[in-house]
């Protein structure tokens, strides 16, 4: 079994690679590689798409890698390989992002990526640091993660999904903020599992074992 982490020059690849490799060793889940080669993606059993920065920049960076998005779409949409998007990698799953204009996303989770607007003006944006998860839906990748467990966030935008059933977890930051989305063989987290210690390592282990 091979899990690939996509390298398109946008993501905290070192931390993600170490965390995924650690859990792959501990659970016997196969190998984890970081790659910018679409052929490796086409042969992968699982796909992880990280992302750090602005929505439009991440999309442009991904599309600049010749054949990469097509390879991801083939494995995820056509062939049903498990997919995990992290931070902006999760946001790209939406229909469009509204950061610095309108940028089309993948359209896998219908909805928009909008700026967080806390009801309390004292709450800062970006939403940065540890926050307690809530409204956790039953899902194999979230198994063992309970309301009140903390995860690490760094973001100013979040996904507003058209279909409530696609929202798998939330946090509160002056109102509900989307923390995880998913459907079928794909899931995305706004938080960084590679920085979320116990909660994040459990999620990574669950993802490496997931057979949707």
Angle of the 197-209 helix axis to the 13-27 helix axis, nearest 10: 60
Set 17, 87, 99, 158: catalytic member: 87
Set 127, 155, 166, 192: catalytic member: 192
Residue 15: phi, psi to the nearest 5?
A: -65, -45
SS3 content of the chain, % helix, strand, coil (to 5): 30, 30, 35
Q: Give the whole-angstrom CA distance, residue 167 versus residue 180.
A: 6
Concerning whether 87 is annotated as a catalytic residue, the answer is yes
Concerning whether 104 is annotated as a catalytic residue, the answer is no
Concerning whether 194 is annotated as a catalytic residue, the answer is yes
Tell which phi-psi region holds residue 85, choosing left (phi > 0), alpha (psi between -120 and 50) or beta: beta
In the numeric block, which tokens belong to residue 37?
A: 């080669």
Set 17, 99, 112, 194: catalytic member: 194
Q: Under DSSP, is residue 139 helix (H, G, I), strand (E, B) or coil?
A: coil
Which residues on adjacent β-strands are paired with residue 176?
A: 172
Catalytic residue positions, numbered: 87, 192, 194
């Amino acid at each position: 079994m091979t899990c690939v982490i996509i390298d398109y020059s946008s993501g905290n690849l070192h931390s993600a690679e170490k965390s995924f490799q650690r859990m792959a060793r501990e659970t016997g889940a196969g190998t984890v590689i970081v790659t910018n080669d679409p052929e490796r993606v086409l042969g992968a059993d699982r796909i992880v798409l990280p992302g750090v920065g602005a929505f439009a920049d991440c999309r442009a960076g991904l599309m600049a890698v010749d054949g990469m998005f097509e390879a991801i779409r083939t494995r995820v949409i056509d062939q049903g390989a498990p997919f995990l998007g992290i931070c902006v990698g999760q946001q790209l799953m939406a229909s469009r992002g509204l950061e610095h204009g309108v940028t089309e996303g993948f359209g896998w989770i219908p909805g928009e990526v909008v700026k967080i607007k806390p009801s309390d003006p004292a709450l800062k944006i970006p939403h940065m640091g540890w926050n307690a998860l809530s409204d956790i839906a039953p899902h194999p990748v979230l198994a063992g993660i309970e309301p009140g467990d903390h995860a690490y966030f760094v973001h100013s935008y979040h996904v507003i999904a058209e279909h409530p059933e696609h929202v798998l977890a939330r946090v509160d930051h002056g109102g509900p903020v989307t923390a995880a989305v998913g459907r079928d063989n794909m899931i995305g987290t706004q938080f960084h599992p590679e920085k979320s210690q116990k909660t994040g390592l459990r999620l990574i282990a669950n993802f490496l074992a997931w057979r949707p």
